[in-house]
Amino acid sequence: MTEQLHGLYVRDLRVSFDGFTAVDGVSLDVAPGDIRFLIGPNGAGKTTLVDAVTGLVRATGSVRFGDRELLGRPVHRISRLGVGRTFQTSTVFEELTVLQNLDIAAGARRGWATLLRRRHGTPDEVAEALEIIGLASRADQLAGTLAHGQKQWLEIGMLLVQDARLLLLDEPVAGMSHEERDATGQLLEKVSRDRTVVVIEHDMDFLRRFARTVTVLHAGKVLSEGTVAQVQADPRVQEVYLGHPVDAGTAPTPTEA
Amino acid sequence: MTTVARDPVTAADPEPPPTKPAAGPSRHRFRAAVGFAFGAALLFAVAPLMLSDFRLSLLAKYLCVAMVAVGIGLAWGRGGMLALGQGVFFGLGGYAMAMHLKLADAGPGNMPDFMLLYGQLDELPLWWRPFASPWFALPATVLLPMAVAFVLGSLVFRRRVRGAYFAILSQALAAAMVILLIGQQGTTGGTNGLTDIQGFFGYDLDDPVNQRMVYFIIAGTLLALLALTRHLMQSRYGELLVAVRDSEERVRFLGYDPATVKLVAYVVAAGMAGLAGALFVPAVGIISPALIGIVPSIEFVIGVAIGGRATLLGPVLGAVAVAWARTALSERFPGTWTYLQGLLFVVVVAFLPGGLASLIGLARRRDREPADADPPAGLFARLRRRREAA
């Protein structure tokens, strides 16, 4: 894990579907090693932004990870540049075991000679990931039989063995218990030591505890950006996103993106 | 599981021992070896001793169908590609072999009998000529279908054609091939196909001893294909193929190109179908459009579905059972077999999507065996899981 950290640099990103503009000129910088939370009301364009970064939808503008342009590359190429993501609904391979899931995630760079042979034992990076995500005792269990929270962790583990340097997580704690949320947050803090993390999340409590920086999207545009305190104090955020002022006593401290 | 430590490959591996080994690989291998020995004994000793020459030659024919089924099991059961047009590859292999045997029957420099009969040609067509050489014709029985599958698969999988669209497309290909063959009667034998094949590399096919030899070749080839498929299924590639079947998008986000993964299984399945077609010709003495069109293509798949598409042996047993039932029942009730076959297919697909093999898998899972290569969850498995979840 000696590779250097990279940041994510988005410039004037636009995504349109049949005349509807889901992402409308978004520019944002995520510093290397940051844990950036993307928030915003439904339809703000959060998931579409991640879709554009990972190559799932066409977009114009520029998305650089480190010094590499991502736009215009197919999904699997972007993935090989170290960009990994999870989805709102967990998408582990349910008919395979936890170990097999991780082993497949670790293997995109394997040649055919390795692929056509049988797996012997557990590769180092897989064993390490099993420890980090706390599923070592369930390595041989079918992923489909895991609890919801465990599936989400398995997904994060798959990003780790994939050696993703940029993690894009779409609502990772949705449906989790309090303990599971805490564990997930600590997991994110741990992995952000040598990775850049972007999280889409609705859970405000989780955000307050684990976000380092926050970007608020609204109607496809960046509404506000800064630390948790800065964003919470932004009157436009209070108005648009929360619908009403959270704390009337706080003086407005507008922050520009 | 102490067996893992004794496994020489694992012991020589620099990787740390698995934290929690399931059924040790050596135990798996032992069970497979016993299985293969049992299968070999059945095919090479029991069947030739028990069956009449006539029944044995029927079995040879069924085993050819089983070879196609093994490939479909890989492509469909593990890779999710419903290959409804395997008759095309079976036919390519069969015609390649039959063309060579017809030319060999006719003797050097002569034209096959049917060409003389139709009398449209003065000399052998150009594309027939290379098939006079066994060094061309034999590899072609396998490589030709694989090449066609490669071209087709490259076009189709990259455009993300899947599911029913892929099935319909492969079906259309089978129809097109039949139309082409029938239309080119002068050079392909048309509806009759290539018939009345006498010799097989110098051996007279009418001689029961030689027929028996052909049977042994077929049985041996089937076992070899099973060994190859077993290896593929248990390799990392096999795991990846299942992952592609269950969630193609997710695999793409892990940095793989799913089109390539699917292409390999599809091309391998085509090669197996080609080999099956090639061996079908000496076993039965004929290859014709009726044997490779839409109906036989569907019948290949029915056997696989009934046996259990995601397992190794399910497709073989299903294919042989269906082919045998077809012969037995259509001897007695000629009109009803088609309906019975359709009914069987519907019942299996509706109530036992994993095929008959999933019954065994279910029983095995009862003794808490960690199944590493599961069949797609059948109704019972799903119900059971739901009950456990509740």
| Residue of A137, A140, A166 to mutate for B, most B C-beta atoms under 10 A | A140
Mind telling me how many Å the CA of A255 is from chain B's nearest CA? 35
Cα first-last separation, chain A: 32
Cβ contact (<8 Å) for B236 and A115?
yes
Residue range A146-156: average pLDDT? 91
CB contacts, 8 Å: B22 with chain A: 97, 140
Does residue A236 have a pLDDT over 50?
Answer: yes
Sign of the dihedral defined by the CA atoms of residues A102, A104, A108, A110, in that order: positive
Does residue B264 have a pLDDT over 50?
Answer: yes
Cβ neighbors of A126 (< 8 A, separation 6 or more) are: A99, A102, A103, A106, A161
Residue-wise pLDDT for B156-197, tens only, equals: 998 888 888 999 999 999 999 999 999 998 899 999 999 999
Q: What is the pTM of this model?
A: 0.84
Which amino acid makes up residue B172? A
Beta carbons within 10 angstroms of residue B334's beta carbon: 9
Q: Which residues of B132-158 are buried (b: 16+ CB within 10 A; e: fewer)?
A: beeeebbebbbbbbbbbbbebbeebbe
- Give the start-to-end residue ranges of the domains of chain A: 8-82+165-242
User: What does the alpha-carbon distance between residue A55 and residue A68 come to, in Å, rounded to a whole number?
Assistant: 14
Of residues A107 and A11, more confidently modeled: A11
User: What does the alpha-carbon distance between residue B171 and residue B86 come to, in Å, rounded to a whole number?
Assistant: 8
User: What does the alpha-carbon distance between residue B277 and residue B265 come to, in Å, rounded to a whole number?
Assistant: 18
Asked which of A189-193, B10-14, B213-217 is least confident by mean pLDDT, the reply is B10-14
Which of B17, B239, B252 is nearest residue A104 as measured by Cβ atoms?
B239
Is residue B77 in a domain? Answer: yes
Does residue A130 have a pLDDT over 80?
Answer: yes
Does residue B119 have a pLDDT over 80?
Answer: no
User: What does the alpha-carbon distance between residue B275 and residue B269 come to, in Å, rounded to a whole number?
Assistant: 10
User: What does the alpha-carbon distance between residue A223 and residue A236 come to, in Å, rounded to a whole number?
Assistant: 8
CB contacts, 8 Å: A109 with chain B: 255
CB contacts, 8 Å: B9 with chain A: 120
Q: What percent of chain B is predicted at pLDDT more than 70?
A: 86
Is residue B29 in a domain? Answer: no
DSSP characters for A51-76? HHHTTSS--EEEEEETTEE-TTS-HH
pLDDT computed for residue A174 by the predictor: 87
How many residues in total does chain A contain?
A: 257
Is residue B325 in a domain? Answer: no
**A105 at the B interface (CB within 8 A)?**
yes
Give the model's confidence band at B251: pLDDT under 50 very low, under 70 low, under 90 confident, else very high.
very high
User: What does the alpha-carbon distance between residue B125 and residue A196 come to, in Å, rounded to a whole number?
Assistant: 66
Beta carbons within 10 angstroms of residue A107's beta carbon: 23
Query: How many helices (H) does chain B have, and how many strands (E)?
Result: 19, 2
User: What does the alpha-carbon distance between residue B228 and residue B231 come to, in Å, rounded to a whole number?
Assistant: 5
**B246 at the A interface (CB within 8 A)?**
yes
Residue range B47-61: average pLDDT? 93
Distance of CA A247 to the CA centre of its chain: 29
Give the model's confidence band at B307: pLDDT under 50 very low, under 70 low, under 90 confident, else very high.
very high
Give the model's confidence band at B375: pLDDT under 50 very low, under 70 low, under 90 confident, else very high.
very low
Does residue A170 have a pLDDT over 70?
Answer: yes
DSSP characters for A226-240? E-HHHHHH-HHHHHH
Beta bridge partners of B313: none
Sign of the dihedral defined by the CA atoms of residues A102, A107, A108, A112, in that order: negative
Residue of B nearest to A139 (CA): B20
Does residue A47 have a pLDDT over 70?
Answer: yes
Cβ contact (<8 Å) for B385 and A144?
yes
Cβ contact (<8 Å) for B240 and A107?
yes
How many separate domains does chain B show? 1
Which of B20, B247, B253 is nearest residue A75 as measured by Cβ atoms?
B253
Q: Which of residues 27-56 of A touch B (CB under 8 A)?
A: 54
User: What does the alpha-carbon distance between residue A54 and residue A15 come to, in Å, rounded to a whole number?
Assistant: 13
- CB distance A143 to A130 below 8 Å: no
- CB distance B241 to B265 below 8 Å: yes
CATH 3.90.1150.10 fits A8-82+165-242, yes or no: no
pLDDT computed for residue B217 by the predictor: 97
**B236 at the A interface (CB within 8 A)?**
yes
Does residue A252 have a pLDDT over 70?
Answer: no
Asked which of A10-19, A81-90, B14-23 is least confident by mean pLDDT, the reply is B14-23
User: What does the alpha-carbon distance between residue B218 and residue B15 come to, in Å, rounded to a whole number?
Assistant: 41
* Burial (CB count <10 Å: 0-12, 13-18, 19+), residue A57: middle
DSSP state of B235: B
Report the candidate in B67, B73, B146, B88 with the shortest Cα–Cα distance to residue B291: B88
User: What does the alpha-carbon distance between residue B327 and residue B186 come to, in Å, rounded to a whole number?
Assistant: 32
Cβ contact (<8 Å) for A108 and B255?
yes
Which amino acid makes up residue B167? A
Q: Which two tokens stand for residue A127?
A: 């064993």
Cβ contact (<8 Å) for B20 and A137?
yes
Cβ contact (<8 Å) for A121 and B13?
yes
Domain of residue B155 covers 55-292
Average pLDDT, chain B: 85
| Residue of A99, A104, A109, A165 to mutate for B, most B C-beta atoms under 10 A | A104
Is residue B341 in a domain? Answer: no
Cβ contact (<8 Å) for B25 and A120?
yes
Q: Which two tokens stand for residue B174?
A: 């089978």
Cβ contact (<8 Å) for A114 and B236?
yes
Residue range B378-383: average pLDDT? 47
pLDDT computed for residue A257 by the predictor: 36
